[in-house]
Amino acid sequence: MSVPFYLFAAQQTQLGYIWKNATPESKIIIIFLFFFSMFAWSVMVSKSLQMRRAKQYNLYFDSEFRSQKNVLGIFDRRIQVEGCPMFTVYHDGCLELDSRLKLGEEEGRKKYLSLKGMEHIKRTLEGSVARESLKLESGIILLAIAVAGAPFLGLLGTVWGVMDTFAAVGQMGRADLQTMAPGVSAALVTTVAGLLVAIPSMFGYNWLVHTLRVRTVELDNFAQDLVSKMETEYLKDE
């Protein structure tokens, strides 16, 4: 147990030594990358929870929807499901269908819908799917920025620190290891900080993009099934 503790203490001492010898520019970049990392992790956690919640709600709603005999069955019960993309698509489509079937306040609904009216419903569903996909996608671009920008910020700090080190060596007139090592090690730590931000963000970004693609395909398939059911019930055969 004493060996790991010794290694941990030695590492802490090394990090403190590197931080002490880092230039003000490198410290600013490291602090900025630290907060950038916290922000990226918060995005990954929040979007992961959102995707998971959307998946669960979609499964529950799809099961309930397929058990209904009439396409407007859930809509007529005035059920509300917050945070379910599939329900939002269904509700938007049913609102458009209901508005085109209504004869009046107390006269009920028409039995059939025209082909033109069904085309309007299709466009409504397409717009609803696009909006829900954008809601799920919001914030993911910040991870792409972290993946692309963090290594360059780290490289900037490294190049800046090395440049200052060589400038100091030139002013001192001697280039030995004792003179250069502190500045170079402090400069390289900014690259490490940039990679520590970019690598988790890369994995999180790729996973979220894949999950978003799956959720979008699910919404597209559901919208097509919904249109097919509406056409079967309310579109008159020619």
pLDDT tier at 182, thresholds 50, 70, 90: low
pLDDT at 8: 42
- What's the whole-number mean pLDDT along residues 201-224? 94
Residue 208, domain member (yes or no): yes
Range of the domain at 209: 35-234
Residue 80, domain member (yes or no): yes
Residue 54, domain member (yes or no): yes
The model's pLDDT over 77-114, given as tens digits with 9 standing for 90+, comes to 888 888 899 999 999 999 988 888 886 666 677 787 88
What element of type H or E holds 90?
helix 85-101
pLDDT tier at 185, thresholds 50, 70, 90: confident
Which of 202, 212, 210 has its CA nearest to residue 37? 202
Does the reported pTM lie above 0.85? no
- How far apart (Å, rounded) are the C-alpha atoms in residues 141 and 157? 24
Residue 25, domain member (yes or no): no
Would you say 90 and 218 are in contact if contact means Cβ atoms under 8 Å apart?
no
Residue 88, domain member (yes or no): yes
Residue 17, domain member (yes or no): no
Residue 1 above 90 pLDDT?
Answer: no
Residue 115, domain member (yes or no): yes
Number of domains in the chain: 1
